[in-house]
């Protein structure tokens, strides 16, 4: 594809598609797009980069006709814009295929895969490579605080990508990551998720094994050696060098907690202490896998460890959105029971501090189907208070979950009522941890506004 073509992206505000839009624009193409769920930070980022986003899927946006239509996996047959593309015989492709053909085909791809931790690990790896002077390209499913964008072409052969197992498009049901052809592959973990397209864990393992099959013999796989599901996947066949990381002694590289510190040991590493701002064993595991991936492209361990100290995290990953009257409001993308539990555990208050109040929107397709609802009580156990939102279109009632959690849990099916109730009961020292993989109707700013009004004595609207 030559430069300066008009590319129109359907579903542009998704984290992957929005990042792809940035790469296409940087490569010299004219990029436009459309979506129905337009919310920050991606909508803001696209606007800042001068990319026009149309609200909705009206077929009129194809006039004049773009040179190529890139169709996101949220769109299906019956969508008026999809039908118009097919009826007119326009050139179309999926996001992962476009990326593979026009961005990744001649790069050293470092792919970060797994059910959890992909965004943090990919952003951290990109920052380690940047700090080492390698000027990596990257595509990250979030907005890293160390970079002004979520994706860029970079100035060297290395390219870091968040490798998602979700499908590509209505016409390509393979996992996105089979298009990426990594030379360095990280498998952070592997659990059942995306229940709308994967019936069980075995189905996901098959897709991950398809990914393993694409790694060259001269490549490297960095795998979570603590998880049986990962070991089973590699046992299906592997043709590349594998090193394992985790807490168990059998791993090539072992992560141990010594007091308040996390320490890495392994071949030629006696005791490397991880010093950075992020907390929790899951984040320490992400850091180790990023360090090992960086080493594969020549970054010294000590340089990778130094970059940890200046890593500023990801928007929507335990991100403090504001504080009013001693009440802090945090935003987090957690939407799987394991990620929810890990986030809560890492944010549990020290003795004498206020409560940790979890506010959860079960929004993902898997959550809406209720696949993980039996695991949610345990994942929310670390929060002193739990609020749940019954969003439209759910196949189950969050009241069932409240019944299991008891008096410390409650729910609402109206955002205004949810905000008013939380604001009324919040106390100085409390931390409100809002968890959703969507915009949650801008609840973070509404909570902060409500807290401010309460503080000044104004009435809630």
Question: What one-character-per-residue DSSP string does 428-456 give?
Answer: TT-EEEEE-SS-GGGHHHHHHHHHHHHHH
Nearest CA-CA partner of 345 in 298, 396, 379, 391:
379
Alpha helices in 297-414 (DSSP H): 301-308, 337-347, 365-369, 376-379, 398-405
Nearest CA-CA partner of 37 in 67, 69, 10, 14:
14
Question: What one-character-per-residue DSSP string does 282-313 give?
Answer: HHHHHHHHHHHHHHHTT--HHHHHHHHTT---
Helical (H) or strand (E) element with 321: strand 319-324
Coil vs helix vs strand at 109:
strand
Q: Which domains can be identified in the chain, with CATH numbers?
A: 6-94 (3.40.50.720), 106-308 (3.40.1190.10), 319-456 (3.90.190.20)
Give me 292's structure tokens.
């090992």
Residues in the chain: 461
Residue-wise pLDDT tens for the chain (461 aa)? 456 899 999 999 888 999 999 999 999 999 999 999 776 667 777 888 889 899 999 999 999 999 999 999 999 999 999 999 999 999 999 999 999 999 999 999 999 999 888 889 999 999 999 999 999 999 998 778 899 888 999 999 999 999 999 899 999 999 999 999 999 999 998 987 766 777 889 999 999 999 999 999 999 999 999 999 999 999 999 999 999 999 999 999 999 988 878 999 999 888 898 988 777 787 889 999 999 999 999 999 999 999 998 988 776 677 888 888 889 998 887 767 877 887 888 777 655 678 899 898 887 766 677 666 777 878 888 888 888 888 887 887 888 888 888 888 888 888 898 989 888 898 898 999 998 877 788 888 898 888 888 877 754 44
Q: Which residue has 């007091």 as its token pair? A: 259
Decide if 433 contacts 344 (C-beta within 8 A): yes
Coil vs helix vs strand at 194:
coil
Give the integer Cα–Cα distance in Å for 302 and 304: 5
Question: What pLDDT does 298 receive?
Answer: 96
Give the integer Cα–Cα distance in Å for 322 and 328: 6
Nearest CA-CA partner of 389 in 363, 428, 426:
363
Q: Can you say whether the dihedral through the CA atoms of 307, 133, 31, 167 is positive or negative?
A: negative
| Residue 342 CB contacts under 8 Å (≥ 6 apart), including other chains | 116, 280, 281, 282, 334
Q: Which residue has 């047959």 as its token pair? A: 77
Model-level pTM?
0.77
């Amino acid at each position: 594809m030559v430069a300066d073509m008009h590319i129109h992206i359907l579903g542009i505000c998704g984290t992957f598609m929005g990042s792809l839009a940035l790469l296409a624009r940087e490569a010299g193409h004219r990029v436009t797009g459309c979506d129905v769920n337009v919310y920050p930070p991606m909508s803001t980022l696209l606007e800042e980069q001068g990319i026009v986003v149309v609200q909705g899927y009206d077929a009129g946006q194809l006039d004049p006709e773009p040179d190529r239509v890139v169709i996101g996996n949220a769109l299906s047959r019956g969508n008026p814009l999809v039908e118009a593309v097919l009826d007119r015989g326009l050139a179309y492709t999926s996001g992962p295929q476009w990326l593979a053909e026009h961005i990744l085909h001649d790069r050293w791809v470092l792919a970060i895969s797994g059910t959890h931790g992909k965004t943090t690990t990919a952003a951290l790896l990109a920052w380690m490579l940047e700090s080492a002077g390698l000027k990596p390209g990257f595509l990250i499913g979030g907005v890293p605080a160390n970079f002004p964008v979520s994706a860029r072409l970079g100035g060297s052969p290395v390219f870091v990508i968040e490798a998602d197992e979700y499908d590509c498009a209505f016409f390509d049901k393979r996992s996105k990551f089979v298009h990426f052809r990594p030379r360095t592959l990280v498998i952070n973990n592997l659990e059942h998720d995306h229940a709308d397209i994967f019936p069980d864990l075995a189905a996901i393992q098959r897709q991950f094994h398809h990914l393993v099959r694409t790694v060259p013999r001269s490549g490297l796989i960095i795998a979570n050696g603590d998880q049986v599901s990962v070991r089973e996947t590699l046992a299906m066949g592997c043709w590349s060098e594998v090193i394992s990381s985790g807490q168990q002694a059998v791993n090539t590289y072992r992560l141990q907690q010594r007091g308040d510190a996390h320490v890495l040991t392994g071949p030629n590493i006696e005791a490397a202490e991880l010093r950075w701002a992020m907390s929790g064993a899951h984040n320490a595991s992400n850091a180790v896998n990023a360090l090992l991936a960086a080493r594969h492209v020549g970054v010294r361990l000590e340089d990778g460890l130094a970059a940890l100290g200046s890593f500023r995290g990801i928007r929507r990953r335990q991100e403090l959105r504001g504080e009013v009257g001693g009440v802090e409001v945090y935003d987090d993308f957690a939407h799987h029971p394991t990620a929810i539990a890990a986030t809560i555990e890492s944010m549990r208050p020290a003795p004498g501090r206020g409560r940790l109040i979890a506010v959860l929107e079960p929004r993902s397709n898997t959550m809406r189907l209720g696949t993980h609802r039996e695991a949610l009580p345990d994942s929310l156990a670390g929060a002193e208070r739990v609020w749940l939102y019954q969003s439209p279109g759910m196949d189950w009632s969050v009241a069932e979950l409240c019944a299991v959690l008891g008096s410390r849990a409650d729910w609402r099916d109206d955002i205004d009522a949810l905000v008013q109730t939380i604001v009324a009961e919040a106390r100085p020292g409390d931390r409100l941890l809002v968890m959703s993989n969507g915009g949650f109707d801008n609840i973070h700013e509404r909570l902060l506004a409500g807290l401010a009004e309460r503080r000044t004595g104004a009435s809630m609207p």
